[in-house]
Amino acid sequence: MSPRTDVLMHAYSHKCMHIYIYPFRPYPKYILYNYITKNKKSYVMFDCLNMNDSDLGKITNVCIYINGYEKIPPPKYDIGKDKLIVFTKPLYLPSSQYLSVISLELNENDLFFYNYLALFILDGSIFPKMSKFQNFYSHSANDIIKCKHQNVQRSYQQSTLIRKWKEDVDFLKQEFISLIEEKMNKKNEHLISNFWPPVD
């Protein structure tokens, strides 16, 4: 073996692992290896993952289990991306280990997507004008998240809702009135007519 060949073979050698990677190939994104321990009568193999656990949590794999979203930090609406953001703590099943909290973008296929969309519409995150009516709401944020049916289904983003209101100014108006009619009176009924749709 020539000196140059020996250098190339050991280019990515690590003192803790006898592993050699051809130097002209790209770096691997993840390194998965095993170590074996000996008990009195048997050998046991363990998985070792050399990677950031926040990266691991974002992998779509049967080994990564996500069950619900964190209350702290709470979900939020990213106005720059027009996306709904939630936080979760994935479980790495092979070792029953919880990973670091990660952020995820919800899409319309998520079970709670429309619940969170309704929540962020009503609290003024998506349309700031809606925040003027929070005192009239007869529900809590938790009520919206747990609701089994949302009338904003198939309205995926802020831009979609704005386009619908250009086509029909009364879109979702009656649904909104049903949320606040118990606390409304004749003196402030005109507010809705002057206010709807809630776009600037």
Strands (E), 17-69: 31-38, 43-50, 64-65
State whether 177 and 121 are in the same domain: yes
Q: Could you list the mean pLDDT of each consecutive 10-residue stretch along the chain, which spans 200 residues?
A: 47 52 59 64 63 71 83 90 91 82 87 85 88 76 56 69 89 80 72 81
Q: How far is CA 101 from CA 48, 51, 61, 72, in A?
A: 20, 15, 17, 10
State whether 124 and 167 are in the same domain: yes
Within a domain: residue 16? Answer: yes
State whether 191 and 148 are in the same domain: yes
The string of DSSP codes covering 65-118 is E--S--SSSPPEEETTTTEEEEEE--EEGGGTEE---EEEE--TTSTTHHHHHH
Give the residue from 10, 30, 52 where a domain finishes.
52
- Number of structural domains (the chain) is 3
| pLDDT for the residue numbered 7 | 46
State whether 142 and 68 are in the same domain: no
| pLDDT for the residue numbered 78 | 93
State whether 169 and 152 are in the same domain: yes
| pLDDT for the residue numbered 140 | 67
State whether 184 and 129 are in the same domain: yes
| pLDDT for the residue numbered 175 | 79
State whether 129 and 191 are in the same domain: yes
| pLDDT for the residue numbered 88 | 92
- Domain containing residue 74: 59-106
DSSP 62: T
Using CA atoms, how far apart are residues 56 and 52, in angstroms rounded to an integer?
6
Which residues on adjacent β-strands are paired with residue 102? 88
Give the residue from 106, 124, 142 where a domain finishes.
106
State whether 43 and 69 are in the same domain: no
Within a domain: residue 200? Answer: no
Using CA atoms, how far apart are residues 174 and 196, in angstroms rounded to an integer?
11
